[in-house]
Structure 1
Amino acid sequence: MTIDANADGNAALPGANDDPTYVVFGYGSLIFRPPPHVIKETPGFLKGYVRRFAQKSHDHRGTPTSPGRVVTLVHQEDWARFSSADPFPHEDVVWGVAFTIDPAHAAEVRAYLDYREKDGYTLERVDVHGAGNALVCSAECYVGRNDNPSFVGSESLEELADTVWRAVGPSGRNKDYVYNLAAAVRALGPEAHDSHLFALEARLRELDRASAGTVGSES
């Protein structure tokens, strides 16, 4: 995990450790497995990003020799430059949850998240919006940018689904990460629809059914 400049090129997270209000935005596993010491959860969205399974997971949902895939945020215009085959090119809103952390445990939670998100993620500050595009808060967010070693970029849905369906790591099966995330995003409301996530989920369900049918035919 590194701390870097934000999208505007300004120094990221100035004085973050001195800010009594510590808010972290979750768009992946944090939604269904929140950090400790949360005192408030606020659903909201980021504008100008896509959520894609473009980050290798060597330590949670895969292994160093057989990495799984987990989500990262990518600025929509950056994704468009190297993913012209993306079937969902016009989506640029990512829903998630802003978690406000108990100030008494801010240092503990930062250390926990820095370790949890250590596999190539950069800490940025993002603006979280809500109903009517109103600004809800500014939050810290872990982003696997396209210059980190674990960034894999765009893969076809078939290739991605095959990798995810087979991968298993210390945190469990990679496909369960997808199923849990899809369920958590749906629970945020219909406006949180994510075409890429739901298309991958559907393909994984097809692989599950095909595998079950193969096993049944061999019984």
Structure 2
Amino acid sequence: MSPAPPFVVFGYGSLIFKPPPNVVAQVPGFLKGYVRRFAQKSHDHRGTPENPGRVVTLVHKEDWDLFSGSDAFPNEDTVWGVAYTIDSEYEADVRAYLDYREKDGYTMETIPIYGIVDGVEAVIIQSAYCYVGRKDNPSFIGSEPLAALAERIWVSEGPSGPNKEYLYKLAEAVRQLSPDSYDSHLFALEAMVKTLDATPQK
């Protein structure tokens, strides 16, 4: 009987800067066919039920194109993140931990992870688990004007801390993943929220 395949989870949001427990290996990689957007309400971590913050989700590119005609960002952006291999002894515990952590509207999917091998794009992990906020989940907010989104992130706070802290940590973590890692949406929001930080308040 062949051994079960390893449990690998791909982090593209807070899992990049706050990894899951019991990791035995990790490697940076990227996805194809998805966009990363602050299109998900956060009622339980970076906001409250009354004043939800915004966190990133993955959206299938073809789905995003259907309702995001105002999205100003180029298609060349690639979703970089980290693929974590979990110690098989703790797989059930880590699955339960992640299911709870990602409970606010996320669905687990399996996807291939790409990397750069000898200067060429190649699949480095055939099947990794990833939490995706599908467009029909109740926390999905879709595309918002960037200025309004920045304002929302700037003022929101929840049990896990200020929403802008999440944004800043994610932007810095994405920069450190790879020389090829760039995210126009993420970095534009970071710049706008830092401008709000630097503006004297009346």
TM-score normalised per structure 1: 0.87
**Residue type matched to 1:144 in 2?**
G
Output aligned runs, 1:60-79, within 5 Å.
60-79=45-64
User: Whole-Å Cα distance in 2 between the matches of residues 79 and 92 of structure 1?
Assistant: 14
Q: What is the 5 A alignment of 1:104-123?
A: 104-123=89-108
* Deviation readout 1:160-200 (Å, 9 max, x if unpaired): 00110000000000000000000000001231100000000
Cα separation, 1, equivalents of 2:12 and 2:23: 16
**Could you say which residue in structure 2 is the equivalent of 1:126?**
111
Report the alpha carbon displacement of residue 20 of structure 1 after superposing the two structures with TM.
4.4
2: CA distance between counterparts of 1:187 and 1:121?
A: 26
Q: State the partner residue of 1:135.
A: 123
TM-fit CA distance, 1:78: 1.0
Q: What amino acid maps onto 2:20 in structure 1?
A: P
Please report the RMSD computed on the Cα atoms of aligned residues, expressed in angstroms.
Answer: 1.2
Q: Following the alignment from structure 2 to structure 1, what is the Cα–Cα distance between the partners of residues 74 and 64?
A: 9
Q: Percent identity?
A: 65
Match of 2:26 in 1: 41
Q: Distance in 2 between matches of 1:163 and 1:136?
A: 37
Q: Which residue of 2 aligns with 1:13?
A: none
Q: Secondary structure in 2 aligned to 1:88?
A: coil
C-alpha separation in 2, matches of 1:93 and 1:200: 17
- Going by fraction, where is helix more abundant, 1 or 2? 1
Note closer, same or farther for the CA distance 1:145–1:92 as it changes in structure 2 (3 Å cut).
farther
**Which deviates the most, 86-95 or 46-55?**
86-95
Residues 58-98 of structure 1 show CA distances to partners (whole Å, capped at 9, x for unaligned) of: 00000000000000001111111100010114235210000
**Counterpart Cα distance in 2 of 1:85 and 1:39:** 42
- Normalized against structure 2, the TM-score is what? 0.94
Is structure 2 residue 135 aligned with structure 1 residue 151? no
**Residue matched to 1:178:** 167
In the alignment, is the contact (CA less than 8 A) between 1:23 and 1:139 conserved in 2?
yes
Unaligned runs of at least 5 residues, structure 2 = none
How many positions carry a matched residue from both structures? 196
- 1:214 counterpart residue number: 201
